[in-house]
Amino acid sequence: MLMIKKCALLCCALMMTAGCVSRMSSADTAYARSFPEPSAGQGGLYVVRESHLLGSHKSVDLYIDNQKAAQLGSGDFYYTTLPVGSHSLMASEFEITNAVLTGGDKQSLFFRVKAEEKKNKFVEYNYFNGTFSILSEEDGKKLVQESDRVSEERK
């Protein structure tokens, strides 16, 4: 029993020193899950990464308009508001693997999403092929509700 406790403490210490992704509070998660209407001149953006066993130990950095916005682990979602207009999304794993495999440059790896005034947009990130796809409002809300956590904003 003592050995199990020591192993558990060691695992916790390793996770903390490895920069484990922290999570927003339950109040922030509840707020995001209430699907608030964005204010005038703003559009809401939800980025969801479905929970899968394979690749679940890897987080990806989410970039919005070339700025690091969050780390998405398996089962995470991220919510933010953006000014109305076109914005670019990119995930770190997609940038690294596809740029090396295809010889592509960063500019070819962006996914464009348009923020619409006072509307929420839902995007899913597929870890396995490094792609983003637009979800219907119904499917997006369902995935957000099923997600067990919200990823913390990173700037």
pLDDT value, residue 153: 56
Percentage above 90 pLDDT, the chain: 44
Model pTM?
0.73
Pairing of strands 149-150, 131-135: unpaired
- N- to C-terminal Cα distance for the chain? 41
Q: How far apart are CA 112 and CA 132, in angstroms?
A: 9
H or E element, residue 72 = strand 67-72
pLDDT value, residue 6: 41
* CA-atom Rg of the chain in angstroms: 17
List the single range of 43-52, 74-83, 100-109 with lowest mean pLDDT. 100-109
Q: Is 81 strand, coil or helix?
A: strand
> Which is more confident, 88 or 102?
88
User: Could you give all domains of the chain from N- to C-terminal order, each with its CATH number?
Assistant: 25-150 (2.60.40)
Mean pLDDT of 53-80: 86
pLDDT value, residue 139: 96
Mean pLDDT of 51-69: 82
Cα-based distances in Å from 24 to 70, 128, 135: 11, 25, 24
pLDDT digits (tens, 9 = 90+) for 97-117: 444 444 444 433 579 999 999
The structure tokens 């996914």 sit at 111
